[in-house]
Each structure stands twice: as C-alpha cells, then as structure tokens.
C-alpha cells in the first residue's frame, strides 16, 4: 500500500466520487473547500516515503467517505493534521469551515497529542476509555481511527522504533476501540497490520501456513459450497452462502489462548448462510445436520440466547466429506449486518471477554443509535445525535509522566494527590493543570495533565472533605482530622489537669514522674497518661478525677467547705420548708448549690457541710467528684411543697429589634418571674442574652426553654450555673 515517491498529488475527484455514490445530494462545496485549504497548507510537505503530504489527509477522507460519514467528518479528515502541525489555529478553521468541522479537528488533535506509553492492560483500558470520553462526538474517534488506519497502511518507511511504538499503540488502544464500535473490518485490519510489525516472524509463518492451507482447501471449499447450495435450493430456501477466512492475528490469538498448533485450528474457513427469517435459520440448521453429522457439544444457539453483546447466530460444527470438520454459521441478513459492520460488536465474542457494565451501557447506546439511523431519511442526521458524553461519571487525566488515572467526575487535585500518597495529599497546596496553576477545589477534566504542588507547611482541614470525590481521599482526610483532634484534645486535657492540680498546689510534671498520674489513668482503664489527658480534653473524664486520687480527703473537704460561701436560702430555712426531704430529717438547714442550681425534677444529692447544714447539688455536679462518700446524704424532692427556684438561662440569637421583649414575653406567658435580664450584642448579627428567673421545676424550665427556642432568630438556649 505504500505510495512511491514522485506520486502525483491526489485529485479531489477521488473523494467526490465516493461521497456522491453514498449521498447524491451531498454538500460537495464544503469538502472541496477543505481539500483546497489542506492542499495549500500542506504544500511543499512530504511524507517519510517521499510522497506529497496531501496523500495522507486525502486517504483519510476517502476511508471516512467509504464509511458513509457526513461532509463535516470528511472535511475534518482532510484538515485533521493542519492544527497539530501548527499550520493553522482552531479559531481560524472555525471562521472558514464553521464550528462543526473545527470541533472535530480540535478533538482529533487532542487525541493525537496524547502518547500512550504503558504496556499494562489496565492502563490500556484507561487510555481507551479516555479516548472514548474525549470523543464526545463519535465522529472524532472515527476520524482518528481512519487516520491511524492509513498510517498503519503506510508504516514501512518509518524507523523501526517508531514502527514498534505505533504498532503497539494500535494493538493496545486503537484496534480494541474499533472493535468496541463494532467496526469489525477495521479492527481486524489494524490488528493484522500491527501484528506484522510487532512479531514479523510469527506473522509471516501464519500467513504462509494459511496460504498453503487455503490453496489446499480450495477445491474442498468449492465442493462444500455447492453441496450446501444444492440442498438449500432443493428445499426452496432463498439464502446467500459465503465463506470467510480467519484473520492472521485472530489465528495467532486462538493458538496462544488455547495453546494449540496451527494444524489444530479447525475454523480457518467458516461457512456462512444468510437467510431472511429466524425460522429459516432453524430450518437450515436441520438441513445441515441431515447432510453431515454434527460434532457433539459444538452447536451454539445464539439466537435463543444472544451473547452478552447481543451477537445472534446459530453456530454448528459438522463432520464433512473426508472426515473434515466444517464450521457453519447461520443467521439472518439483519444479524449479519450488525455482526459485520454494526457499531454493536464482535469484540467481546472474539476476545472471549465479558462486557463490563459500563461498556455494555455504551454499546447498547450505540446500538440504539444504529437503530435510529435506520429510521432516518438521511443517514447523516445520525451524526447530529451522537454528541453525547460516553462516560458521564468519570474523568481520565494524565500524570506528568503520562500515566492515565481514572477519577469520579468532579474530582479535584486533592483526589489526585491522595491517589499518589497520603503524604502528598496532606501537604497538597494546589496543582498545575496543563501548566496552569489551579486551586484545590478545581474540577479536573478528561485529558488534563495534572502536577501536584505540595508544601511542608500545609495540612488538611475539614473543608477539604467538601472538595474530594474519592473514598480514599475522604478517609485519609478524616483519619488526619481525628489524629489532629486527638492531639489537640491531649494538649487541652493536660492543660486542664495542670490547672486543676495547681489549685491544690500539686505540680503535674512531678506527679507524672512519681507515677501518680499513671495510677489514675489505670484506675480509669487507660493504657497511658496521654490516653487519660485525651479523655479529659474530649470531656469524657473530669480533671477532678485526678484530685480524688492525688489530694488527701481532709484537704478536699476543707476546700469544698470554702466553696459553699453562699448563705442558706432565706436564712434558716429548714428541710421541711425547703422543698426537699433529707432521709426523714426535718430540722436541718438546707441550701442550694450555686454551682449547679438544682431544680425540682433534677436528680440531686446532699453534701453535709461543717456547721452550715446540707447543700443540695445535682448528682452530676462536677464539684462532687472529689467528695468523700461518707459526707453525702440522699435527698429527694418533696412533691407536696412548691418552692420556686432561681435559674439562669442563656440565649444565643440573631440580633434584631424587639428581641428582648420577645424573649421576656416567653417568661411572663409561662408564669415565670424574671429577676434579672441582660442582652449583650456580640456583633451586628449576634446577641447573647442571660435571664435569671424563678421556675417551679425541671418540667417548667423545659417548657420555657422550648418556648425560647421557638422565638424567631434564636439559635441556642442553655441552662447556666449561677
């Protein structure tokens, strides 16, 4: 196929004739303009083989015309190398040929610029998907495939390393893509061409053996065909009978996969019988089996049970004359069209692979497109409908070394960074995408080349969780936050412990050294002091837990006495009038602790003070942690008495006019007298109110708090200590 040097420049007429044969009313002006433009831009350029460069774009356009593509695609085929070669800009093409052609050329240029380097199968698959994803318009891919096909047909003059590189890329990426689109003839041609350059020896061996075998079989094939035709005629079945030869690479693959010799390939030739209806398929099958004995277990009914890719046919192998095996495939003409040319596909059938769910989706979509095409008056309309995103949920991007990485749509440089290493993720400050600086929240696009920028001073923040799409990045950020929080809690916990101990004139560092802190930690089932500090920091353990262990009881009691400086409520009020019962005692002085302001309804306990009677605390009051059990006394509320208690309530709210009166109104409407009220403006937007008021019991308080929460603008209401 290589063009020889000195060949004349291809004429426009060569394309024109093909296009006219498919579309008598085609817009030839567009194609002619593209031809003239391309000829001018490539003028003076020659290909490696010495022929004028124009030979290549014209050949590509011819392939596209033969595939019945529309005028824009054929024009794009003529212009496809002008942008890549830096001759013109996409903008210029758009001005001259319109948006459609410019977009196609732009898409082809983008794909051409990508270099596939890895031989890893997974990489090849990502690369194929990337190209599919970039070819939002399926014509982009078809132009690219036609370009590759012509380059493969004219690969001879290239230096050997380039031949190998291009052939490998063709084998790994482009042939499977052609197969995925169901363009069976193109796939096998690309495979055989690539095979020739990648393993010339084996290629030559199989080619020779196939030639010999076909020559030897020639008579036999003729005999079989005439027997079949005769039998079909006899039964009045209008059928078309053909035979096909297995392609070279296909033979090689079968020998490899099944680990067999050339002689063991029995389907080197296969006979194909095409009929009109499904019932005829079965009738023909019966006729064939009545002619020759079928080989057991070799009959496959892909009509009743189509292949995963919807391939349909009846396959059988029979023992023909001279005891030779004959493979026969029977299908309707419609089934044949799809199997041979249809975008649907032979690829998984031949490769013995099952379809991934995503591929199945893409292919069924393409098949649906093919169906629609049938109903369209002008087949060109088909291409108006194919501008669809094939992989809407994924993006494919490059690392600076050309590796392809797959991410969910919406992924950012952070996802990319975490996919490399968690340290790279943690220290990521941004990225260069296609050479341009972008922030962390930047959404990656298919085809981008991404380079991560890190800084030793960077660390993850909670916000990052909003920017990431991958589970891995999310998990790594969470993990970091937890470690970070723990170390902050640890620090805070240790400070709280130090502060608490200072009040008792104990030095924390010294207590640590003496093992006293470790003892407390173990008593709370912690493995280490740091675990204890962290628990204190998280608020799970009170720092006062240290005191019970480290401060002698008499000192603790003395301190607690000092805490109760408060005078007894309504001087000298005794238990019988205070609203509580103390284990049957009636004549003892009762006061209510200011630290926790207990209310009827709260769980409470009494602390026996020295000389000032009993102080009532809530049982969960942190001040009680350090108290000796022997000075505690059980207390319960006296339901007969109704003694109102004073509480403080804090209200956080959005600032607004009339806020104070709205809040005060809640108290009065709930029968609660306010002793004191204040509102502090925190900023323009926020206000903090503190109300001191009488309430009857916990239930009453809860009702007031809920009513306050319902006031417009209020964000938080809490019960405070005095």
* Shorter beta-carbon distance to Mn ion: residue 108 or 627: 108
Q: Any idea which residue has 């496959």 for tokens?
A: 300
Shortest CB 143 distance to Mn ion, Å: 9
In whole angstroms, give the CA distance from residue 388 to residue 141.
13
Residues 6+ apart with CB under 8 A from 18: 62, 65, 66
Shortest CB 331 distance to Mn ion, Å: 37
* Shorter beta-carbon distance to Mn ion: residue 190 or 330: 190
* Shorter beta-carbon distance to Mn ion: residue 147 or 697: 147
* Shorter beta-carbon distance to Mn ion: residue 104 or 417: 104
DSSP 87: S
Q: Which of 577, 455, 579, 555 is nearest to 506 (CA)?
A: 555
Q: Any idea which residue has 């690479």 for tokens?
A: 249
460 neighbors 425 (Cβ within 8 angstroms) = yes
Edge-to-edge strand list for the sheet holding 436-438: 436-438, 428-433, 450-454
The residue number with the shortest CB distance to Mn ion is 147
The Cα diameter of the chain in Å comes to 128
* Shorter beta-carbon distance to Mn ion: residue 174 or 667: 174
Shortest CB 80 distance to Mn ion, Å: 6
Helix (H) or strand (E) holding 32: helix 28-41
* Shorter beta-carbon distance to Mn ion: residue 153 or 469: 153
Shortest CB 144 distance to Mn ion, Å: 9
Shortest CB 81 distance to Mn ion, Å: 4
Shortest CB 56 distance to Mn ion, Å: 6
CB count within 10 Å of CB 520 equals: 21
Residues 6+ apart with CB under 8 A from 230: none
In whole angstroms, give the CA distance from residue 686 to residue 186.
71
Question: In sequence order, what DSSP letters do the residues of 648-713 get, joined into one string?
Answer: EEEEEEE--TTHHHHHHHHHHHTT--EEEEEEEE-SSSEEEEEEEEEESSHHHHHHHHHHHHTSTT
* Shorter beta-carbon distance to Mn ion: residue 38 or 581: 38
Question: In sequence order, what DSSP letters do the residues of 426-441 get, joined into one string?
Answer: HTEEEEEETTEEE-TT
Q: What are phi and psi of 590, to 5 degrees?
A: -125, 135
Strand partners, 405: 397
Shortest CB 63 distance to Mn ion, Å: 11
Strand partners, 271: 243, 328
Shortest CB 60 distance to Mn ion, Å: 6
* Shorter beta-carbon distance to Mn ion: residue 81 or 557: 81
Residue numbers of the site for Mn ion (CB under 5 A)?
A: 81, 147
42 neighbors 81 (Cβ within 8 angstroms) = yes
* Shorter beta-carbon distance to Mn ion: residue 81 or 137: 81
Tokens of residue 147, six digits:
């370009």
Pairing of strands 614-618, 404-408: unpaired
Shortest CB 2 distance to Mn ion, Å: 16
* Shorter beta-carbon distance to Mn ion: residue 147 or 327: 147
Residue positions annotated with a catalytic role: 84-85
Ramachandran area for residue 671 (φ above 0: left; ψ -120 to 50: alpha; else beta): left
Shortest CB 41 distance to Mn ion, Å: 13
Buried b or exposed e, range 191-230, using 16+ CB within 10 angstroms = bbbbbbbbeeebbeebeebbeebeeebeeeeeebeeebee
Shortest CB 136 distance to Mn ion, Å: 20
Residues 6+ apart with CB under 8 A from 667: 673, 674, 691, 693, 704
Q: What are phi and psi of 444, to 5 degrees?
A: -75, 145
Pairing of strands 293-294, 300-301: unpaired
How many residues in the chain? Answer: 722
* Shorter beta-carbon distance to Mn ion: residue 81 or 327: 81
In whole angstroms, give the CA distance from residue 595 to residue 599.
12
């Amino acid at each position: 196929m290589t063009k020889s040097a000195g060949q004349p420049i291809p004429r426009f007429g060569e394309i024109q004739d093909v296009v006219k044969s498919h579309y008598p009313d085609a817009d030839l002006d567009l194609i002619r303009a593209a031809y003239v433009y391309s000829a001018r831009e490539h003028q003076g350029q020659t290909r490696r083989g010495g022929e004028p460069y124009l030979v290549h774009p014209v050949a590509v356009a011819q392939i596209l015309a033969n595939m019945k593509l529309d005028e824009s695609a054929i024009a794009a085929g003529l212009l496809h190398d002008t942008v890549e070669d830096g001759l013109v800009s996409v903008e210029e093409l758009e001005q001259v040929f319109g948006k459609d052609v410019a977009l196609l050329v732009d898409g082809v240029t983008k794909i051409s610029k990508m270099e596939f380097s890895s031989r890893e199968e997974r990489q090849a698959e990502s690369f194929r998907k990337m190209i599919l994803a970039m070819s939002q318009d399926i014509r982009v891919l078809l132009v690219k495939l036609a370009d590759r096909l012509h380059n493969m047909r004219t690969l001879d003059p290239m230096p050997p390393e380039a031949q190998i590189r291009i052939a490998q890329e063709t084998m790994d990426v482009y042939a499977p893509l052609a197969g995925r689109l169901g363009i069976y003839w193109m796939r096998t041609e690309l495979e055989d061409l690539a095979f020739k350059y990648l393993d010339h020896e084996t290629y030559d061996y199989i080619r020779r053996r196939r030639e010999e075998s076909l020559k030897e079989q020639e008579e036999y094939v003729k005999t079989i065909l005439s027997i079949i035709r005769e039998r079909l005629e006899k039964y009045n079945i209008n059928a078309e009978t053909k035979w096909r030869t297995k392609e070279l690479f296909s033979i090689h693959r079968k020998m490899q996969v099944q680990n067999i010799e050339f002689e063991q390939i029995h389907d080197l030739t296969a006979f194909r019988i095409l009929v009109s209806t499904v019932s005829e398929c079965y009738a023909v099958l019966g006729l064939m089996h009545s002619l020759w004995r079928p080989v057991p277990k070799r009959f496959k009914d892909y009509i009743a049970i189509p292949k995963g890719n919807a391939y349909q046919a009846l396959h059988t192998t029979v023992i023909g004359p001279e005891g030779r095996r004959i493979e026969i495939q029977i299908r309707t003409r419609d089934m044949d069209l799809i199997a041979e040319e249809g975008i649907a596909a032979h690829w998984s059938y031949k490769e013995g692979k099952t379809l991934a769910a995503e591929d199945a989706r893409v292919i069924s979509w393409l098949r649906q497109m093919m169906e629609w095409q049938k109903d369209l008056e002008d087949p060109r309309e088909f291409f108006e409908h194919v501008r669809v995103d094939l992989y809407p949920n994924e993006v494919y991007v490059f690392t600076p070394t050309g590796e392809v990485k797959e991410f969910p749509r919406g992924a950012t440089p952070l996802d990319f960074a975490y996919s490399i290493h968690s340290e790279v993720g943690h220290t990521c400050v941004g990225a260069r995408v296609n050479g341009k600086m972008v922030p962390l929240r930047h959404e990656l696009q298919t085809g981008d080349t991404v380079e991560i920028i890190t800084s030793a001073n960077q660390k993850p923040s909670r916000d990052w969780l909003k920017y990431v799409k991958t589970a891995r990045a999310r998990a790594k950020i969470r993990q970091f936050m937890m470690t970070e929080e723990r170390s902050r809690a640890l620090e805070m916990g240790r400070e709280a412990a130090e502060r608490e101990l200072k009040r008792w004139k104990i030095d924390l560092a010294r207590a640590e050294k003496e093992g006293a802190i470790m003892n407390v930690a173990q008593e709370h089932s912690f493995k280490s002091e740091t675990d204890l500090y962290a628990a204190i920091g998280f608020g799970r353990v009170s720092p006062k837990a240290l005191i019970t262990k480290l401060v002698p009881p008499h000192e603790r009691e003395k301190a607690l006495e000092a805490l109760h400086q408060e005078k007894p409520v309504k001087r000298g009020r005794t238990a019988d009038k205070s609203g509580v019962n103390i284990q049957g005692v009636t004549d003892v002085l009762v006061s209510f602790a200011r630290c926790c302001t207990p209310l009827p309804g709260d769980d409470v306990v009494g602390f026996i003070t020295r000389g000032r009677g009993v102080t009532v605390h809530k049982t969960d009051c942190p001040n009680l942690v350090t108290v000796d059990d022997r000075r505690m006394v059980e207390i319960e509320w006296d339901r007969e008495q109704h003694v109102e208690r004073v509480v403080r309530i804090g209200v956080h709210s959005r600032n607004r006019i009339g806020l104070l009166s709205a809040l005060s109104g809640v108290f009065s409407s709930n029968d609660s007298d306010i002793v004191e009220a204040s509102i502090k403006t925190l900023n323009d937007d926020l206000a903090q109110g503190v109300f001191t008021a009488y309430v009857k019991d916990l239930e009453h308080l809860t009702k007031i708090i809920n009513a306050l929460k319902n006031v417009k603008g209020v964000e938080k209401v809490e019960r405070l200590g005095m």
